[in-house]
Amino acid sequence: MDFMRDDGKCVIVAMDHGASMGMIGGLENVEDAIKSVSEADGLLLTYGAARRYGALIKDRGMPFLLRCDHLTSLMPTKPSEIDGYGLIADLDEVQRLGASGVMLYLVFGMNSTEASVKNVEMVAGFADACEEAGLPLCVETVLWGRNFTREEQSDPRYVRHACRVASDLGADIIRAPYTGSRESFAEVVRCSYVPVTMMGGDRTDLGSTLQDVRDAMDAGASGAVLGKSIWQSRHPAETLRAIIRIVHEDVGAEA
């Protein structure tokens, strides 16, 4: 995996939010946001961003994962009722854009059984295609929709279940919600037989973000795939640098 360092760990900055959330603070200028996190091991990008800023990313030697699917609806003015799922890029486009891997959702909590079945089929299908192409498949396990409360979205009982399903569907690496403590996230890691990275949330407080990353790494995580907690922070480059030091240099959260 191009985005994994020799220590088997990674720090990836997620910038795929615009495809489902529209204009969001911190990503008003995607080019500037990319430049501010150039020290990351990789990026998570939408098709449009990868196409528009491909030259910039290549010049900076930044591997990236391509977000290849889409959910409806995540509009901020509506309830989070996930009743639609579809692909927005195929493996030919992944390779043409020069991506180092694929990112797909695996959603638990959809209102539509048809959409949920399609989601599972796409993850399993991409796992086979990615293996043949020599590209890693990263699966983002999420507990969204009205079938899960906000508190349940990070409940270790459900997160570890989701991660095991992702492993068995063929994921090479998993992006999982952080469950709130080192002990509970260690259970999540143990339930998966592929590397697990932590997904952040809406935290923009630097101290809380760094402590979460430190605890996740102590729990056995293989890194972090974070978005808003980096580019919505006051100083994205410095925040990223502190996270990189925790993941790759094993420093404390106070560093």
Could you tell me the CATH number of the domain that includes residue 104? 3.20.20.70
- 218 in a structural domain: yes
Amino acid 14: pLDDT: 95
pLDDT of residue 24: 77
Closest CA to 178 of 217, 135, 122: 217
Residue 144: inside a domain: yes
Would 4 be classed as within a structural domain? no
Cβ-in-10-Å burial (0-12, 13-18, 19+) of 73 comes to middle
Q: Tell me what pLDDT residue 75 has.
A: 55
- Structural tokens at position 161: 């279940």
Is residue 69 one of the residues assigned to a domain? Answer: yes
* Radius of gyration of the CA atoms of the chain, in A: 17
Cβ(36)–Cβ(229) below 8 Å: no
How many domains does one find in the chain? 1
Using DSSP's 3-state secondary structure scheme, residue 171 falls into coil
Residue 5 belongs to a domain: no
The answer to whether the beta carbons of residues 127 and 137 sit under 8 Å apart is yes
Q: For residue range 88-103, what is the model confidence (pLDDT) as tens digits?
A: 899 999 999 999 999 9
The SS3 call for residue 218 is: helix
Pair of tokens at residue 176: 């999982």
Is 120 within a domain? yes
Q: Count CB neighbours of 255 within 10 A.
A: 11
Give the model's confidence band at 73: pLDDT under 50 very low, under 70 low, under 90 confident, else very high: low
User: In the prediction, which pLDDT does 153 show?
Assistant: 85
Q: What is the predicted pLDDT for the residue at 141?
A: 96
Is residue 125 in some structural domain? yes
- Spatial distance between the Cα atoms of 94 and 14, rounded to a whole number of angstroms: 17
CA distance 177 to 162: 10
Which residue range forms the structural domain that includes residue 203? 10-249
Q: Is residue 214 part of a domain?
A: yes
